[in-house]
Each structure stands twice: as C-alpha cells, then as structure tokens.
Structure 1
C-alpha cells in the first residue's frame, strides 16, 4: 500500500511537471519560429554545456548541496513535517555557487575564445543574442532543478509513505525556478563585463549577494523600518509565498521585473560597441545610465505597489496549509479600515517537535492575515520575531512589554526526557485594546486563537456570558465535601471563555431577562435553591440563550449534587454541632416541562427524580479497558456500524465536523413526541447501547459489580445532548401567573418576543479540567493519543447560542500537514518495544522483591514462633521474663537486619530494572537515529550517482572521438 501511494504521488508530480514543461516548450517553439538566431544560440549553448563533463560535475554538486540542505539538518527530523523549510533557508547560498557557475561562461568564454565577433556577425540583433544566451542558461538550470526535484520528492515520498503534499513541493520548486531565472539574468551582467571565467564567477556571486542576503538586514541596521524595507527588497520575501505553497501575482511580478531590468543592462553592455569610442560616447553612457536608473525606479515602485495587492493568490497545497477559513476572511472584511491592528509574534529558534506544526502554521497564518487584510483595504501589521534566542533583546521585549515569557515543557528529544524552554506567543493590539496569547498550545487550533484575539481587539467589546452559580462552582470558591470544607479552584474553562466573552457570575437572586446576557451557562442547575431555580427557569422561558449541563451522576467532582439526590448543607463545624441537614433544591422537571424534554427515569422517595444513565459497549482506546466500563460513553463517528452523522449530528453547526466526545456516566434525554419546540439531537449512542436505572448503577458501583452484568436490553440511538429552539406552548402560562412576584408585564412581553434557545447536555463530566489538558496536549498519556473534542463541543454550543458561529467555522477549518510517517512508524514500533520490555522488567522486579520478602519471612518465622511459645510460657511462669526479653530483642535486631537487607536488595533490583529500561530506551532511540542517518546518506549520495555516471560516459565518449582524429603513430 505504501509503495502504491509513493508511485501515485510521483505520477501526480510528473503530471504537474509535464504541464509546466509543455508551457516552456511552447515558449521555445514560439522563439524558434520568430527568432531563429536566438533559438540557434540557445541550442548551441545548451548542447555545449551538457556535452562537457564539467556540466555534469556542477549538476552533481547542485544536487548534493540541495539534498544536504534539505535532509541533513537536525531540524528536518525534529519538525517531523514533509516540507523543504531547511532547503528554503540555505537555497540562496546554494544559488550563489551554482548560478555563477552557469553564467560565468555565457559571454566571458566567447571573449576568451574570440568567437564573440563571429557571433555578433550573425544576421541577428542584440536582443536575439541576449535572449538566446539567457534561455540557454535557463534551460540548463531548469534541467538541473527538475533532477533535484525528482530526487528530493522521491525521498520525501518514501518518508511520508506517499502522503506528502505534492502541491507544496511543486510550488516550492516553482519558486526556486523563479529565483534561479532572476539570478541568472543578474549573473549574465558579470559575464558581459569580463572575459575571465574566474572573475565572471566572482562578480556573478557578488552581484547576486545583495538580493540573497537582504533578509539579514535586521542584523546590520538598527532601524527596524529600514531593515524591513531592505529585507523586503530581497528574494526572500517574494520567494516565501512559493515556499509556503502559495502562487501570488506579487511574487511573480517581482521576479519578472528584476530579471527584465538585468536583461536590459545586458542589452546595454552588448550594444555598447555601437556607441563607445565615438564623439557621443560619454553622453550615451549617461543616457543609458539614466534609462537604467529610471527602469530600476519603475521596478521598485511596481514591486512596492503589487507587494500587498495580489490580483491572483492561490494556495496550491493539497492540505490547504496556507489558506484562511471563509469566516476568517469575513472577519477581516468587517474590520474597521481606520483602526489598524498590530500583531507582535515571538518564536524562539529551538521549538520542540510537538510544537513544530504549530510554529509552522502560526507563521503561515500570520502572513496570510497580513496579505488578506491588505487585499481588502484593512491593516494588520505583523511584526514577526522568528528564531529569537531566549536571552535576546527580542525575548526581553516580549516579556517586558507583552508578558510573553519562555514556557517550560517536558519533551523527549535526542534519546532523553528534558525540560525545554521556548517562546511561542503573540500579542494583539488595536487602540487601547490588547490581548496576549502567551503560548499557542499545539492541540488548540492556531487560526481560532488568532481570529478570536483579533476579533476581540478589533471590536473593542466582548459579548456577555453569565455563569450561573451552582454546586459546580466554575468560578471557584469553598464547597462542602462530606464533613469538611474544600477549596475549589477556578475552572480552566472560565479562562478559555474569558478570551472571547465578558464572563460574569450570576447568583440568580434576581430575575435575568433577555438582553442582560448574550448567553447563560448553567452547570447542574438542579442544585439551585427553589427560588433561584424558578428564576432560572423563567429566564430560559423568556428566551435567554442558555447552555445547560445536568448530570444524574457526576463522577469527576464529588461535591456536585446528582440530579435525583438531596442537597446536603451545613458541613464542617455545623455538622459537628448537629447540622448537615438537607437543603431544599429545585425540581428539574419544571425545566424539562419548559423545554418539552422527555427524560426517562422515575421519581424517588425524596420527591426528586432519578434519571436513567446511558451505557454503550464501545471503547476506541484499548489501553483504557481496565479503568473504563460501559458507562464511559464514547460518542464516536468512527464507531463500527454507524453512518456518518449518527453519533454527531453533521447537520448542526455545533457538532458538524466533530468526531469524538467522551461522556462519563451521562444521562439520556429526548424531545417529547408532541412538542411545539424544535429538538435537534446533537450526540447519540451507537448500535450496542442503551440505558440503566440510577438505583441499579449505584448499587453496582458500591458493590464493585461489573456494569456488563446489568445490561439486559439494547436501545440504540440514545441522545446525550440536544439543542432546543422555538416558541414554547401554553403549558407555562398558569405558572407564570403564580410565579416570582418580581416578574413584570415587560418581562412577559419579552418572553413572547424571544423564542426559547437552549442546549441541554445530560452530563457535566465532559467538561472536566482533564479534557482541557488533553486538548492542549493530546500526547499527555504515554501510551495513547486521545482524540477527545469535548472542549470544542462546549465552545461550539456556547458560540451557537451567542450567535458567534464564525468561530465554529474557524475551529472546523483544520489544515492537513504531511508528516514523516515512516519515521513515525519506526518510533511507534520502538516505543512499543520499550513499553513491552519495560513491563517485563517491572514484572521481573516485582517477582524478585516478592521472592526476597518471602525468604525474609521464612527466615524469621521460626524465631517468631519460638517467641510466641516463650511468651506463653512466661505467662504461665515457666521461664523468667528476662529470657523472653532477650529473645524479643534478638528477634527485633534480626527483623531490623532483615529489613535492611531487603531494602538493599530492593534498591539493587530497582537499579537493575532502571538500567535495563534505560538500555532498551537507548537501543530504541539508536534504532530511530540509525534509520534517520540511513535516510540522510541515501538522500545525499544516491542522487549524485546518475549525473556522475553520465559525466563519465560523456568524458569517455569525448576522449574516444578525440583519439579517432589522431594517427596511431602519434598515440604511441
């Protein structure tokens, strides 16, 4: 399968190359038909180059250097991305060697051999000579580049098992081609100035050096504005689009104009024979100099005009890694044109492998934000501080001005776990508004973080979100747990929501009417007191958008009262003095009636209601088999037997694009059969699923009975979450008349104008803080990579209620990055061996310790029996007490000695176990390194063989032809 994928990728690239070559052939055919002399010059130089072994030597050097630059740096395998970032960095330097090697002989060799005069006597004008020479050099470079492309692509195709981004590689090499064509035109100027090949090579490198090194201007210019202008004048910025897979008109125009200016200078240099030496010679020099300067000024102006005004800008990557979501473009379009946004992004030079994709995506998106804003007449100024050191001035600026400081993460690199510090943050500012993202976690969509931050500083105001104060204590506080008071920290979800909303706590001691909050979030609202609960129900009935999380059996936070259980109050000191009695709580059935929900279950003796719990026999993570049971409900789109959209409703904006959510011991909910509201199922269980009563689940958990023994019937398609929209029926009219005295006629009028809009989730455990940690770091567990999208579901639900669906679209826009699957498979296999062998070592350690303990017990057992016998005799008065004490002292000393010996043995076994584990880890890392080194060697050596072989054949063929014209007598 992998070989088929590699072949398919190669065929795809060859088709792109064929189309590209056909365009070039069409241009050459047009030249051959209209400019025969130019075509003759081109053909002569092209054939002459590849008829000489020296040409193949330079081709070999070019392929060698590109392969070394692409695959040899440590950063290539550390990033684990199938890109050519390392080659992009070194490519200008390689061109400073290769391009002068092509151009140095274009005219200098003609002068050295004296054939320039003969060439100028042809029936052709100066343009024919210059364009013929230029196209021959371009053809030589194109052939060399195609060979390099095929060798590089083959290596990447093997490393990715055919899963690389063909569009990205083709576009990158298209950028290399434009860079080469521009540098060839400049290098030709050097060749027209001298008749010495060595001088031509040196001058060609010198003339191209300013464009190649312009990107380093910030290291020599203290003025950042000037440095940025100089850097933008070099080839790095226009090439950057191609290197990211984007074909932009501004980049193409840059290369064409610079090449045109250089070719015009070549025309002047070859045509100077017509006017030098005459009486107007000096005047003509100034005339053509003025022309050239005017053309340079025009070129600079055109480049600046088109730099951020792309008529055409196309992301050619297959994974759309350099594209913005439609919602993002709409956001940029709606920005205030008179209110610029400044983004300062700080990225350290050494970023861990886990964050390499995030770094790549962040840089890509920031540049696309800048381009998109400029195209739409908006201003997003991006100050990108990339590759900074932790103790540099830029790092100090990030910390002092924006509070972006190095973060520390435990990572495994180069065969060892280590704490690594790095910077990967950004600050957003517009007017007086400011937002800082101190770290872009690699599990959180980067585009979403950027859009949310830009929207916040651009709008100048956030929508209001009210967190209802319940037992869940999302804002933190003190709760009663058993007989003690417990301090609860603020839920990390609050910090996440605060990035987008103005989050406020709502105690429901007064009515909440439409317009006060854009959305309410209530976690376990049944724990509210009856008056508070009635006000909450009135708010929902009045049309306040509300996200409701009601759990029949909360697991992760024991202080949350289950739906059907009475609320205990007066813990701590009150319980010690006879307190701790039950507190009244709301009747959740009132809310269900308003939302017209059907929740299966039964009333209990506390005059409350026990909801049924959902179960499902599906676990996509075998490593969780020991801790998870059927009450861990994995809402999984990839579950066998389900069609797309069965588990996650793909027609809802909330769940469209989601694939997996984990609900722990959730309830079951559905809409009533005859309902005036529109009930939209969001998450449902699969084929092998159903529901169990609260009582039998509680008994099973208390007695440690397997949940599977309770299952006696299957009821697939049980809903865990549901969205509710529409205007309710007349059921609540009487209740309104008898309700809270604080309600007014205006409130009742508002209720008619605002239809009910709510999301009901029969679980609170899906918002455990652990899921936010997993979202930030999906590799947090050593043996498994979780795919839970719990946090995304919660944010989508809240955004849907707040009518901020653009953020949902941005979250769903996930670019596809090609990774080095071959290396990943080797790593996974190696780590699998490490886990297996480590478990074996642990078992050996446990057995050795157990054996040592048994031996110790057997050695002291006889003495212990003797002491028991003496104790009995001492009690009967048969032996003196002193004898017993002596024996007890001896036993204690012996037991202590045995314990010390056991501790020594245990430490020895631990050292042996740890040493074996370290050895197997070292061997695993060594195996990965060996594969990487083999890939490096093959990628560098193998591409050099074909041009060397052809060069030897050409050399031998030339020698044979030379010997044919020499008499045998002279050969002797």
Structure 2
C-alpha cells in the first residue's frame, strides 16, 4: 500500500511537470517557427553543454548541494515536516555558484574562441542572439532543476509513505525556476562584459549577490525603513510565496520584470558595437544608461504596486497550509480601514520539535494576513521577528513592551529530556485596545487564536457571557468536603472564554432580561435555589441564549449535586446541616420542550437514567474505563457518517470525536413548537441504565454487564434548541402586565399572549465533558501521546457559546484545519522504538516489583518465628511466669532484627530501583541510536544516490566522445 502511495505521488508530480514542459515546449516551438536564428543558438548551446562531460559534473554538483541543503541539517528531522524549508534557506547560495557556472560561457566563450563575430554576422538582430542564449541557459537550468526535483521528491515521498504535499513541492521548485530565470538574465550581463571565463563567473556571482543577500539588510543598515526596503527588493521576499506553496501575481511579476530588465541590458551591451567609437558614442552610452535606469525604476514601481495590490493568489498546496478560512477573509474584509491593526510576533530561532508545526503554521498565516489585508485594502501591519535569539534586542522588546517572555518546556531531543526555552507569542494593537498571546501552544488552532485576537482589538468592545453561579463553581470558590473547606480553582474554560468575551459571574439574585448578556452558561442549574432557578427558567423563556450542562451524576466533581439527589447544606464543624431546597429541573425541560428518560426520585425529585455504549476506540484504556464512558464518533457501531456529531448544525459540523462521562439522554417532547437538533448521538450498541443500578455498580455490588437489560440505539446526549415558544410569550406577557399599571383591558393581554418569544439554547446532559483535563490535552497533546486522543470537547464547548452569541465566524475558523505532511517513516521508527521502550520498561518494573516483593516476604518469614516467640513470652509474662526484664530483652532483640531486616530491604529496593533505571536508560539509548541510524541512512541515501545517474551519463558521454575522436586515427598514431 505504501509503495502504491509513493508511486501515485510521483506520478502526480510528473503530470504537473509534463504540463509545464508542454507549455515551455510550445514557447520553444513558437520561437523555432518565428526566430530561426534564436532557435539555432538555443539548440547549439544546449546540446553543447550536455554533450560535454563537464555539464554533467556541474549537474552532479548541483544535485549534491541541493540534497545536502534539504536533508542534512538537523532541523529537517527536528521539524518533522515534509517541506523544503532548509533548502529554501540555502538555495540562494547554491544559485550563486551554479548560475554563474552556466552563464559565464554564454558570451565570454564566444569571445575567447572568436566565434562572436560569426554570430553577429548572422541574418538576425541582437534580440535573436540574446534570447537564444538566454533560453539555452534557461533550458540547461530547467533540466538540472527537474533532476533535482525528482530526486528530492522521491526521498520525501518515501519518508512520508506517499503522503507528501505534491503541490507544495511543485510550487517550491517553480519558485526556484523563476529565481533561476532572473539570476540567469543578470549573469548574462557579466558574460557580455568580459571575454574571460573566470572573470565572467566572478562577475556573475557579484551581480547576483545583492539580490541573494538583500534579506540580510537589517544587519548592515541602522535605518529600519531602508533595511525593510532593501530586504523587500531581494529575491527572498517574492520567493517566500512559492516556498509556502502560493503562486502570486506579485512574485511572478517580480522575477519576470527583473529578467526583462537584465535581458534589455544584455541587448544594450551586445549592441554597443553599433555606436561605440563614433562621434556620438558617449551620448548614446548615457542614453542607454538612462533607458536601463528608467526600466529599473519602472520595475521597482511595478513590483511595489503588485505587492500592495496582490489580487491574484493561489494556494497550490494539497493540505491548504497557506490559506485563510473564508470566515477569516470575511473578517478582514469587514475591518474598519481607518483603524489600523498592528501585529508584533516574536519567534525564537531554536524551537522544539513539538512546536515546529505550530511555528510553521504561525509564520504562514501571519504572511497571509498581511497579503489578504493588502488585497482587501485593509491596514494590518505585521512585524514578524523570526529566528530571534533569547538574548537579542527583539527578545528584550517582546518582554518589556508586550510581556512576551521566554517559556520553558520539557522536551525530549537528541536522546535526552531537557528543558528548552522558547519564544512564540504575539501582541495585537489597535488604538487603545491591546491583546497579547504569550505563547501559541501547539495543540490550539493557530488561525483561531489570530482571528480571535484581531477581532477583539478591532471591535473595541466584546460581547458579554454570564456564568451562572451554581454548585459547579466555574469561577472558583470554596466547598465543604470531608468536614473541611477546600478551595476550587477557577475553571480554565473561563480563561479561554475571557480571550474573546467579557465574562462575569451571575448570581441570579434578580431577573435577567434579554440584552443584559449575549449568552448565559449554566452548569448543573438544578443545584440552584428555587427562586434562582425560576429566574433562569424565565430568562430562557424570555429569549436569553443559554448553554445548559445538566449532569445526572457529576463523575469527577463530587461536590456538585446530581440531578436526582437532594442538595445538602454545607454543614458546620459540629456536623449539622441537612437537605436544602433546589430547583426542579423539569420546569426547565418544559420551557425547552424536552425530556430526559428516567424515573421519580426521593423528595419529589426526578432522576434521569444514564447512557451506556459498547464502543471504545482506545484499547489501551480498557482496564480503566467502562461502557459509561460514551465516545461520540462516526466510527461507533451503527452510526451513519455525519450522524454521531451532526453535520447539519454548525456547532458539530466537521467535528470528529467528543467524550462524555456518565451522561444522561435528552429528547424532544411529543408536542413541541421548537426546533430541536440532536448534536451528539450514540450508536446502535447503546442504551439506558437507572441511577440505582449505577450506584450498585460503583459500589462494587454488581457489574454493568449484569445490569444491562435492553438496548436503545441512537440516544441523544446534546441538543440545540431554537425557535419561538408560546409558553415563553405567556411568561413575558404576565411580567409585563404586572409591571404595566396602565394595562386596562384583557384584550391587550391576550394580544401579548399570542406573540411568540424566541428561544435559543444548547442542552447537554453531561458536565464532565468540560473537565479541565480536556483543555490540558488540547493545549498539550503530548501528555497523552501514547493514547493519541482525538477529543474535541473544547471545540464543541466553544462552538456552542459562539453559536449562542452569534459569533459563528469563529466556528468556521476552527473548522479550517490545514493538513501537514509529516515524515511518517521516521514517526513509525520512533513509535516502534518507544513501544519497545515501554514494553521493556514494564518488564523491568515487574521484575523489580517481584524482587522487592520476594525480599519483603523473606523478611516477614524471618521475623515471623521471632514475633510468635515474643507473643508467647508476653502471654507468659502476663501470668507472672516470665520476668519483665526478659520480655524487654526479647522485644529489644525483635526491634533490632526488624530494623536490620528493614535496612537490608531498603538497600535491596534501592539497588533494584537503580538497576531498573539503568536498564531503562540503556534501552532508551539503544532506541535513540536506532532512530538516529535511520536518519543518517536517509541522509546518506538522499545525498549520494541522486549523484550516481548524472555521473554515469557523464562517463558514457565522455567515453563516446573519446571513441568518436579516435575513429579516423590510425593505430600507429594512437601508439
């Protein structure tokens, strides 16, 4: 299967190359038909280059250098992405060697051999000669580039097991080709200036050096604006789009205009024979110099215009890693053009492998934000401080001005765990508004963080979300547990919401009217006092958007009262307290026109049944979970695609997996006027179980398999509710009638009752799906790397709040997930090595535990007889038959021996632990060596193998030339 994928990827690249070659062939055919001399020059130079073994030597050197630059740096494997970032960095230097090697002989060789006069006497104009020479050099470079591309792509295809992003690699090499076109044209100027090959090579490198090194202008120019202008004038800025998989009008225009100006300068140089030496020679020289300078100025203006009005941009990557979501583009389009936004992003040079993908995505998106803003005529200034050192001035600026400090992360690199400090944050400013993201955690969508921050500073005001104060204590507080007060930390979800909304606690001491809050978040509302609960129900009926999480049994937070159980008072230090009144959840269900399967409970309350499902996508969890852990996923038995997580609603569309723990079920009532959309549903192997049975199971009195008696497929555990409610309008009418002393007729009241009140809510029959651990896994997936969890609980929660507040563009941004091609072959080797380490580590741990247990048993056996003897003496001492001194001596002997045996056991345990750790380190070292060996083999193969074919062809060409030279020579002369 892997071989088929690799073959398919290579064929896909070949098809793209063939299309490009057909276009170029059409151009050459047109040239052959209209400019016969130019075609003859092209053919002569192209065949002459590859008819000489020297050409294959240069080709071999070019392929060798590109392969070394692409795969040899440590950053390639550390980044673990199938990109050509390392080659992009070194490519300008490679071109400074290879391009002059091609162009130095274009005209200098003609002068040296005296064939320039023959060319100039052909029945053709100067344009024919120049364009023929140029296209010959471009053809030579194209052939070399295709060979390098194929060898590089095959290596990446093997490393990614065929999942390489063909569009990205093709576009990157297309960028190399455009760079070559521009540099060849400039190198031709050097060749037309001299008749010496060495001088032509040196001048070609010198003329191209300013464009290649312009990106380093900030290190030589103290003026920031001048440095930025110089950097933008080099090849790095326009090539950057190609290197990220984007074909843009500004980049293509830059290279074509530079090549056009250079070719015109070459025509001036070859045509100077017509006017040098005459009486108007100096005048004509200044005239042509002015022409060239005017063309340079026009080119600079055109490049600036294209860059600022880059209306044509196409992301050719298959994973769309350099694209913005449509919602993001819409947000940029709607920004106030009179309110500029400044983004200052700081990224350190040394980024751990875990953050490499985040860094890649962050840099890509920031550049796309800049381009999209220019296209939409919106002002977003991006100051990207990339590859900065932790002690640099940029790092000091980030800390002092924006509070972006280096953070420490424990990572495993080069065979050892180490703490690494990195900077990867950004500050967003607009007017007096400011938002800072101190660190882009690698598990959180980068585009979402950027869009949310931009929107916050652009709007200047935020929507309000009220957190209803319930037993869940999302805002933090204290609870009584085990006869002591314990502190509850603020839920991390609140901090997440606070990045986008104004979040405040609502105690429901008074009514909540529409408009006071854009949405309410009520977790376990049944724990509210009756008057508070009634105000929440009234708010729902009045049309206040509400997210409700009501759990039949909060599995983790034991201090939260389950739905069907009485609420206990906090009690006192003397053990007082008793049941407190609480709201009846059925009143809220009635307002939402829903119900939850269950049965009556004590004190007139109602206890919902719990949902079970026989499906576990994580076999490693089998020993720690049961079927009351409900994995909501399309892969569950009996689930159709887009049904478990509804693709019919924006909250769950394109989500993959959500985990609910000990959840209830919910369904619409038979006579509903509202629209109920199931968001999360179980599969066919699911059903309901009563709370009484669950209690017995949790107490160890029974098992889930024994208690299950029926199957209820397709249960809904979360639902979106919207529409117009007649019951809500009646409640509003009654409130208005009480407050309106001027209401005099019943007809007016009836008119109010007939009006329909809006209802918008999300009801989830579980609160454990918002546990802090899900936010931790989202921010740091590596902490559960062995399990490879795919939970999207946090995304579901945020989507629900955004849908209620109307911030649906953020939902669309979260759905936009670029696909990165990783080095799967290396990942497989690492995973195999890690699996072997885990397996052997467990074996060593078991062996260590067995050794310690055996020593413990031996010690207990040795002390058993002494303990029995001591107990016997104590009994005899009680009868007065044994003296107290004798008993005390025996006790002392027992204690001394027990301490000695315990010391021996401790020494044994310490030694065993030390030996175990030594063995684990050894197998970890072996595993790391295995990974490093594979990486070194890949490097060697990627560098050496591509050089063999051109060398073989070069040897064949050399041999054939020698044979042809010796054909008509007599044997006597050969001796």
TM-score bucket of the superposed structures, by smaller chain:
over 0.9
Farther off after superposition, 251-260 or 881-890: 881-890
Superposition deviation, residue 121 in structure 1: 1.2
Does the CA-based 8 Å contact 2:565-2:602 persist in structure 1? Answer: no
CA–CA distance in structure 2, aligned partners of residues 222 and 398 of structure 1: 20
Change (3 A) 1:589 1:735: farther
Alignment partners' CA distance in 2, 1:770 and 1:414: 29
What's 1:819 paired with? 822
TM-score after normalising by structure 2: 0.97
Match of 2:722 among 725, 733, 740: 725
Distance 1:25 1:826 in 2: 44
Which whole-Å deviations, capped at 9, do the CAs of 1:677-716 have from their partners, x for residues lacking one?
1111110111110111112111221235322221111101
CA distance in 1, matches of 2:959, 2:754: 94
Which of 688, 699, 712 aligns to 1:715? It is: 712
How many residues are treated as equivalent by the alignment?
A: 969
Q: Distance in 1 between matches of 2:22 and 2:936?
A: 38
Residue 17 of structure 1 aligns with which residue?
Answer: 17
Deviations 1:515-553 (A, max 9, x none): 111111111111111111111100000000110111110
Assess if the C-alpha contact under 8 Å between 1:594 and 1:732 holds in 2.
no
Structure 2: gaps (5+ residues): none
Moved more, 753-762 or 357-366: 753-762
Q: Is the 8 A contact 2:726 2:757 kept in 1?
A: no
Quick check: 1:211 aligned with 2:211? Answer: yes
2:610 and 2:816 mapped to 1: Cα distance? 34
- After superposition, what is the alpha-carbon deviation per residue over 1:376-414, rounded to whole angstroms, capped at 9, x for unaligned? 111111000000111111111111111111111121111
In structure 1, what is the equivalent of residue 623 of structure 2?
626
Q: 2:885: which partner in 1? A: 882
Residue of structure 2 in register with 1:940 after alignment:
943
Give, in angstroms, the shift of residue 288 of structure 1. 0.6
Pick which of 854-863 and 590-599 moved more: 854-863
Query: 2-side partners of 1:250 and 1:537: how far apart?
Result: 58
Aligned residue number for residue 682 of structure 1: 679
Kept after mapping to 2: 8 A contact 1:610/1:694: yes
* In 2: Cα distance, 1:896 partner to 1:750 partner: 85
Look up the match of 2:76.
76
1:395 aligns with 2:398: no
> The residue matched to 2:829 in structure 1 has which SS?
helix
Distance of 1:635 and 1:666 partners within structure 2: 11
CA distance in 1 between partners of 2:866 and 2:792 (Å): 62
Corresponding residue number in structure 1 for 2:613: 616
The reply to whether residue 40 of structure 1 matches residue 40 of structure 2 is yes
For residue 148 of structure 2, what is the aligned residue in structure 1?
148
Give 1:971 deviation, angstroms. 2.0
4+ runs deviating over 3 angstroms: 729-754
CA drift of 1:969 comes to 2.4
Correspondence for 2:494: 494
Matches within 5 A, 1:227-266: 227-266=227-266
Aligned position for 1:694: 691
Report how far residue 481 of structure 1 moved: 2.5
Which range moves more in the overlay, 218-227 or 359-368? 218-227
Written as runs of structure 1 = structure 2, the 5 A alignment for 1:188-207 is: 188-207=188-207
Match of 1:267 in 2: 267
Calculate the aligned-residue CA RMSD, in Å.
Answer: 1.8
Q: CA deviation at 1:749?
A: 6.3
Q: Does the CA-based 8 Å contact 1:778-1:787 persist in structure 2?
A: no
Cα distance, 1:349 vs. partner?
A: 0.6
Q: Is the 8 A contact 2:594 2:669 kept in 1?
A: yes
Map Cα deviations across residues 126-147 of structure 1 (whole Å, 9 max, x no partner).
1111111100000000000000
Counterpart-to-counterpart distance in 1, 2:727 and 2:320 = 51
In the superposition, the TM-score normalised over structure 1's length comes to 0.98
Q: Secondary structure of 1:88's partner? A: helix
* Partner deviation per Cα, 1:453-511 (whole Å, 9 max, x = no partner): 11111111111111111111111112222422121111111111011111111110111
Verify the 8 A CA contact 2:870 2:887 in the aligned structure 1.
Answer: yes
Q: Given the superposition, is the C-alpha separation of residues 939 and 743 from structure 1 closer, same or farther in structure 2, using an over 3 Å criterion?
A: farther
- Using a 3 Å threshold, how does the CA distance of structure 1 residues 87 and 876 change in structure 2: closer, same or farther? same
Once the two structures are superposed, what CA deviation does each residue of 1:585-606 show, in whole Å capped at 9, x if it has no partner?
1111111111111211112122
Preserved contact between residue 725 and residue 757 of structure 2 (Cα < 8 Å) = no
- Classify 1:740/1:901 alpha carbon distance in 2 versus 1 (closer, same or farther; 3 Å): farther
Q: Partner of 1:567 in structure 2?
A: 567
Give 3-state SS (helix, strand or coil) of 2:821's partner.
coil
Which whole-Å CA distance do the structure 1 matches of 2:875 and 2:467 have between them?
70
Q: Is the 8 A contact 2:726 2:756 kept in 1?
A: no
Partner Cα distance (2:110, 2:648) in 1: 71
Q: Is the 8 A contact 1:630 1:708 kept in 2?
A: no
Does the 8 Å CA contact 1:466/1:520 hold for their aligned counterparts? Answer: yes
The answer for the alignment partner of 2:465 in structure 1 is 465
Q: Distance in 1 between matches of 2:185 and 2:701?
A: 80
CA 373–584 in structure 1, closer or farther in 2 if over 3 Å, else same: same
2:894 is aligned to 891
Partner SS, residue 680 of structure 2 = strand
Would the aligned equivalents of 2:730 and 2:753 in 1 still touch at CA under 8 Å?
Answer: no
* 2:462 counterpart of 1:453: no
After TM superposition, the structure 1 = structure 2 runs for residues 11-410 of structure 1, keeping only pairs within 5 Å, are: 11-410=11-410
- Alpha carbons of structure 1 residues 723 and 896: separation in structure 2 relative to 1, 3 Å: same
Which position in structure 1 is the counterpart of 2:661? 664
1:730 positional shift: 4.0
Tell me, what secondary structure is at the counterpart of 1:208?
A: helix
Please state whether the residue corresponding to 1:390 is helix, strand or coil: coil
Alpha-carbon offset, residue 120 of structure 1: 1.1
Distance 2:965 2:247 in 1: 49
Residues 166-217 of structure 1, C-alpha deviations (whole Å, 9 max, x = no match): 0110000000000001000000111111111111111100000000000111
Q: Equivalents in 1 of 2:622, 2:293: separation in Å?
A: 75
8 Å CA contact 1:187–1:208 kept in 2: the answer is yes
CA distance in 1: counterparts of 2:260 and 2:416, whole angstroms: 54
* 3-state SS of 1:508 partner: coil
Alignment of 1:728-767 (within 5 A): 728-730=725-727, 733=730, 737=734, 752=755, 754-767=757-770
Would you say the 8 A contact 1:664–1:763 is kept in 2?
Answer: yes
Q: Does 1:605 align with 2:602?
A: yes
CA contact (8 A) 1:190 1:204 kept: yes
Quote the residue 2:837 is aligned against: 834
Mark the CA change 1:869 to 1:782 in structure 2 (over 3 Å): closer, same or farther: farther
Per-residue displacement from partner, 1:67-103 (whole Å, max 9, x unpaired)? 0000001111111110000000000000000000000
Please say if residues 344 and 428 of structure 2, whose CA atoms lie closer than 8 Å, have aligned partners that are also in contact.
Answer: yes
Cα deviations by residue, 1:313-357 (Å, 9 ceiling, x for unpaired): 111111111111111111011001111111111111111111111
Q: Deviations over 1:843-884 (max 9, x none)?
A: 110111111111212222222222222222323333322222
CA distance in 1, matches of 2:386, 2:256: 29
Task: Give yes or no for the alignment of 1:516 onto 2:516.
Answer: yes
In structure 2, what is the equivalent of residue 3 of structure 1? 3
Tell me which residue corresponds to 2:578: 581
Cα distance, 1:785–1:700 mapped onto 2, change above 3 Å: same
Q: What's the counterpart of residue 635 of structure 1?
A: 632
Is the 2:247–2:315 Cα contact (8 Å) retained in structure 1? yes
Structure 1 residues 32, 767: CA separation in 2 closer, same or farther (over 3 Å shift)? Answer: same
Deviation of 1:228 after TM superposition, in Å, equals: 1.1
Shift of 1:741: 7.1
Q: Select which of 830, 846, 850 maps to 1:847.
A: 850
Using the TM superposition, give the Cα deviation of residue 752 of structure 1 relative to its aligned residue in structure 2, in angstroms. Answer: 4.7
- Structure 1 residues 314, 893: closer, same or farther in 2, change over 3 A? same
Aligned-partner Cα distance in 2 for 1:862–1:815: 71
Is the contact between residue 465 and residue 501 of structure 1 (CA under 8 Å) also seen in structure 2? Answer: yes
SS at match of 2:554: coil
Distance 2:738 2:590 in 1: 21
Structure 1 equivalent of residue 593 of structure 2: 596
| Runs of at least 5 residues in structure 1 that lack an aligned partner in the other structure | none
Tell me how far 1:154 sits from its aligned partner.
0.2
